[in-house]
Amino acid sequence: MSDILLILFAITLIYIGVANRLFTYISVLAFQGVLLFGIAFIQLIEINTINLVFVLLETIIFKTIAIPIFLRRVIKRNQIKREAEPYVSNFVSVVIITAIIIGSFLLSNTVHDEHLEKMFFVIALSSLFTGLYIIASRRKVITHVMGFLIIENGVFVLSLAVGNEMPMLVNTGILLDIFVSVLLLGIFVNKIGDVIKEQDVESLSSLKD
Amino acid sequence: MIGIYLSSALVIALLLFLIRHAGLKYVLLGVFGLLQVGYAVYAFTHQNIADLEYFTPDALGTLFLIVLSIVTIPVLLHSYLYFVHHPYLPREQGMYYSAIVILITALSAAYVSNHIGITWVFVELTTLSASALIYHRRNILTLEGTWKYIFVCSISITLVFIGILFLSIAIQQEGLKDLTYVSLMQNAPLLNVFWLKLAFLFIFTGFTSKAGLVPMYTAGIDAKDKAPHPAGALFSSVLMNIGFLGIFRFYEIISHTSIHGWSNNVMIISGLASVFVATVYMLKVKNFKRLMAYSSVEHMGLVILGLAAGGIGAYAAILHLVLHSFAKPALFLQFGQLNRTFNSKNIYQMGGYFRLNPTGAIVLLLAFFTVTAMPPSGMFISEFLIFRSLFEARQLWLLVVVLLLLTFIIWAFGKNVFRILFTKPVAFDESKFVRIRPVESLSQFFLLFMVLWLGFNPPAFMIEMIQTAVANLP
């Protein structure tokens, strides 16, 4: 069952490659939150209740509801143009993201480890590199934040793989996730939005040599 | 004791943030200075005794803690001077002081922590407090610097976390759960090398943002450029030490496994690339603060090369870091006077500094000799030992390339420093110039003297501490 959810997660990564509008990105992020909820529920059913509640709060309340609402507000309030404005064409993006997923599969095949479920490893790595690719290939600062959120989702998947025996790591990962997201988005809403109206990276590129 | 230290520092930071009264602030800062020195002394006398379970001041952590405590005092003094000459609102001053106290506390706790997760948490805290310092001036350029710093550091800290996850996969295979450095080092030979390789790559890349190495060095440059100069002094010395410490502690674990040679190659690539990048940019930059920041990248590159070369190199690397942590703050603190004189960071708008401020000019000249490691600078000795270790490790080509790059760096640095000191300034209105009191340069002389003294006549306890620190390496 969790394999199906993980494969769906990989499909959302490819879907981000073709998405044109920022709101599609936000919907995909919210959907990934739901998927992570399902995976966490199946994977961590054995751990104690408090941890389980904590994980579920993070995935449903934080990833699926709070962050998407927050991002929508940022986009509306700062009047950001609704296209993602990538540097490369969507076709190239899809090819690269697919290559990332295949590469992760090949890498995971070199591991012989009965403790680790390979699917988690594959999806976590693909999510990490897809996030980095989104950051590198999109122009707007807000898409960089979304790329970072995709990386965070990947980290969450990876922490689930080890979470049964070390729930502390899952909780630390969740705290990191909340802390950094609030920090990044908080600066975005309060500061960058007030100072800069056009939220392209170009307007944040005067510091260089 | 660390509990008392952390909680009182937190209270002081909170009070500094809330209190508007200037006199009270200085009293609080004085108390914090005493607390910092007091904790360093306590850690020195209680080495290798676990405190609150997760904090064990070992030799290397204590050494860096002592360095931090010594650097703290001039930095606080110059923060005071900074606000005398740049009147900010009491609220903004409070924010600045509070952030600097949290930064120093987080660094101290990260130095002495014995658990990879705890180190990680406190390194994250340094990112937060450092970004408050970078944003201090509250204009669009500092906002850009802050944004880039937070973004790059957040990605880096996430990479370190992924590394820790891979590491935990490796130790779970052996049925272990303990992530303290001691336990990891004991069990290192048992662990699966595939996971260790991945963990090393991620943790190394993550910590390079703090250490100022390729590939994540960029954020640190903007941070040192945009933060006020006393904060820049901390960023380019003690904050880089924590990045190194994170790498070093994991490298100690790796060095007991079969991938030791492989990790050395990774570090050599990163170190050489850092020196190369520093050279390229130092030949090009016109902003003096960024020039100093790239010089830090160069020194960190040399340190990592020394560590990778092994043998005497590891000893030299730590000695070099200690000396660098005194030399670079001297330069950064001196920059405050330079900026006040010319009201610019651009080297082309500076000149004739020897006539305007002889004492400051002597500091700048001495600091130049010290930082470029020309004798009689103490850094000459540590750099020489690093080169010797590269020679002994039969990395001759590497050595030749590094020496060539260093020649370029000395030329680029010297060209700019001598321009500031001796050439005629362009479009500089001397009538508005207010003389700077020589006494403001006293702390820089002290820091530079420390470099000289520690290089040529290192106290026995320091040698012993460095030797204990590298004793675990093969």
Tokens of A195: 């100072």
Domain assignment of residue A13, yes or no = yes
| DSSP letters for B368-387 | HHHHTT-TTSHHHHHHHHHH
Q: What is the mean pLDDT of chain A?
A: 85
| CA angle, A88 then A92 then A95, to 5° | 150
Asked whether residue B249 carries a pLDDT value surpassing 90, the answer given is: yes
**B53 touching A (Cβ < 8 Å):** no
- Does the distance separating the beta carbons of B128 and A151 come in below 8 Å? no
**Least CA distance to A115: which residue of chain B?**
B173
pLDDT at A142: 85
ipTM confidence score = 0.93
Distance of CA B224 to the CA centre of its chain: 11
**Least CA distance to B193: which residue of chain A?**
A111
- Does the distance separating the beta carbons of B154 and A183 come in below 8 Å? yes
**Residues B44, B70 contacting (CB under 8 angstroms):** no
**Residues B305, B268 contacting (CB under 8 angstroms):** yes
Read off the amino acid at residue A108: S
**Least CA distance to A197: which residue of chain B?**
B140
Interface of A with B in 73-132 (CB under 8 A): 110-111, 113, 115-116, 124, 128, 132
pLDDT at A193: 63
Residues in chain B closer than 8 A to A113 (CB atoms):
169, 173, 192, 194-195
**Least CA distance to B288: which residue of chain A?**
A209
Q: Band of the pLDDT at A50, cuts 50, 70, 90?
A: confident
- Does the distance separating the beta carbons of B225 and A207 come in below 8 Å? yes
Asked whether residue B427 carries a pLDDT value surpassing 90, the answer given is: no
Q: What is the mean pLDDT of chain B?
A: 93
Asked whether residue A148 carries a pLDDT value surpassing 90, the answer given is: yes
Q: Respond yes or no on whether the N-terminal peptide bond of residue B215 is cis (omega within 30° of 0).
A: yes
Dist CA A183 CA A160 (whole Å): 24
Dist CA A133 CA B95 (whole Å): 36
* Distance between A86 CA and the closest CA of chain B, angstroms: 19
**B433 touching A (Cβ < 8 Å):** no
Instruction: Return the residue matching tokens 């060209």.
Output: B415
Dist CA B306 CA B378 (whole Å): 16
- Does the distance separating the beta carbons of B168 and A162 come in below 8 Å? yes
Residues in chain A closer than 8 A to B226 (CB atoms):
207
Asked whether residue A199 carries a pLDDT value surpassing 60, the answer given is: no
Dist CA A125 CA A106 (whole Å): 11
**A136 touching B (Cβ < 8 Å):** no
Q: A87-96 burial string, b = 16+ CB within 10 Å, else e?
A: eeeeeebeee
Instruction: Return the residue matching tokens 């904590």.
Output: A54
Give the H or E element holding residue B331.
Answer: helix B312-342
For residue B127, give Cα distances in angstroms to A107, B104, B146, B444: 32, 12, 10, 27
**Least CA distance to A194: which residue of chain B?**
B140
Asked whether residue B31 carries a pLDDT value surpassing 80, the answer given is: yes
Domain assignment of residue A208, yes or no = no
| CA angle, A38 then A44 then A45, to 5° | 90
pLDDT at B302: 97
pLDDT at B467: 95
Residues in chain B closer than 8 A to A205 (CB atoms):
144
Domain assignment of residue A81, yes or no = yes
Read off the amino acid at residue B96: Y
Spatial CB neighbours of A184, under 8 Å, sequence gap ≥ 6: A145, A148, B150, B151, B154
* Distance between B58 CA and the closest CA of chain A, angstroms: 25
Asked whether residue B419 carries a pLDDT value surpassing 60, the answer given is: yes
**How many CA atoms does the CB half-sphere of B297 hold within 13 Å?**
34
**B281 touching A (Cβ < 8 Å):** yes
* Distance between B181 CA and the closest CA of chain A, angstroms: 16
Q: Residue B165: which of A113, A159, A205 has the nearest Cβ?
A: A159
Residue B10 burial (CB count, 10 A): 13
**B143 touching A (Cβ < 8 Å):** yes
Mean pLDDT over B91-117 rounds to: 95
- Does the distance separating the beta carbons of B140 and A196 come in below 8 Å? yes
| Backbone Cα Rg of chain B | 21
**B155 touching A (Cβ < 8 Å):** yes
Domain assignment of residue A153, yes or no = yes
**Residues B470, B315 contacting (CB under 8 angstroms):** yes
pLDDT at B386: 96
**A194 touching B (Cβ < 8 Å):** no
Asked whether residue A82 carries a pLDDT value surpassing 70, the answer given is: yes
pLDDT at B454: 94
* Distance between B154 CA and the closest CA of chain A, angstroms: 7
Residues in chain A closer than 8 A to B287 (CB atoms):
209
For residue B330, give Cα distances in angstroms to A167, B408, B441, B443: 46, 23, 9, 8
Quickly list H helices, B135-228. 140-173, 181-187, 193-211, 218-226
Q: Band of the pLDDT at A202, cuts 50, 70, 90?
A: low
pLDDT at A201: 54
B455 CB burial (10 A radius; 0-12, 13-18, 19+): buried
pLDDT at A55: 84
Q: Band of the pLDDT at A196, cuts 50, 70, 90?
A: low
pLDDT at A200: 54
* Distance between A13 CA and the closest CA of chain B, angstroms: 19
**Least CA distance to A146: which residue of chain B?**
B151
- Does the distance separating the beta carbons of B158 and A183 come in below 8 Å? no
Tokens of B345: 């960071």
Dist CA B350 CA B427 (whole Å): 9
Rounded to the nearest 10 degrees, the angle between the axes of helix B238-254 and helix B193-211 is 170
**Residues A9, A123 contacting (CB under 8 angstroms):** yes
pLDDT at A209: 72
CB–CB contacts below 8 A, A to B = 96
- Does the distance separating the beta carbons of B172 and A115 come in below 8 Å? yes
Q: Band of the pLDDT at B198, cuts 50, 70, 90?
A: very high
Q: Band of the pLDDT at B464, cuts 50, 70, 90?
A: very high
* Distance between A159 CA and the closest CA of chain B, angstroms: 7
**B144 touching A (Cβ < 8 Å):** yes
Dist CA A73 CA A70 (whole Å): 5
Domain assignment of residue A209, yes or no = no
Asked whether residue A115 carries a pLDDT value surpassing 70, the answer given is: no
Mean pLDDT over A154-180 rounds to: 83
Domain assignment of residue A204, yes or no = no
B130 CB burial (10 A radius; 0-12, 13-18, 19+): buried
- Does the distance separating the beta carbons of B225 and A155 come in below 8 Å? no
Distance of CA B404 to the CA centre of its chain: 25
pLDDT at A2: 84
| DSSP letters for B266-282 | HHHHHHHHHHHHHHHHH
The string of pLDDT tens digits covering residues A84-105 is: 888 889 999 999 999 999 999 9
Interface of B with A in 218-257 (CB under 8 A): 222, 225-226
Name the residue among A48, A96, A78 with its Cα closest to residue A145: A78
pLDDT at A178: 85
Mean pLDDT over B404-416 rounds to: 96
Name the residue among A65, A71, A74 with its Cα closest to residue A30: A65
Q: How many domains does chain A have?
A: 1
> In terms of residue numbers, what domain contains A130?
2-199
**A197 touching B (Cβ < 8 Å):** no
**Residues B62, B39 contacting (CB under 8 angstroms):** no
For residue A163, give Cα distances in angstroms to A45, A116, A167, B360: 11, 11, 5, 57
Tokens of B120: 């990680």
Tokens of B260: 């030791």
Q: Is the dihedral of CA A173, A176, A178, A184 positive or negative?
A: negative
Q: A180-205 burial string, b = 16+ CB within 10 Å, else e?
A: bbebbbebbbebbbeebeebeeeebe
Domain assignment of residue A67, yes or no = yes
**A179 touching B (Cβ < 8 Å):** yes
Mean pLDDT over A36-44 rounds to: 87
Residues in chain B closer than 8 A to A173 (CB atoms):
161, 165
**B128 touching A (Cβ < 8 Å):** yes
- Does the distance separating the beta carbons of A148 and B147 come in below 8 Å? no
**Least CA distance to A204: which residue of chain B?**
B144
Q: Point out the least confidently predicted range of A62-66, A81-85, A105-109, B402-406.
A: A81-85
**Least CA distance to A195: which residue of chain B?**
B140
Percent of chain B with pLDDT strictly greater than 70: 100
The string of pLDDT tens digits covering residues B428-441 is: 777 778 888 999 99
The string of pLDDT tens digits covering residues B282-332 is: 999 999 999 999 999 999 999 999 999 988 999 999 999 999 999 999 999
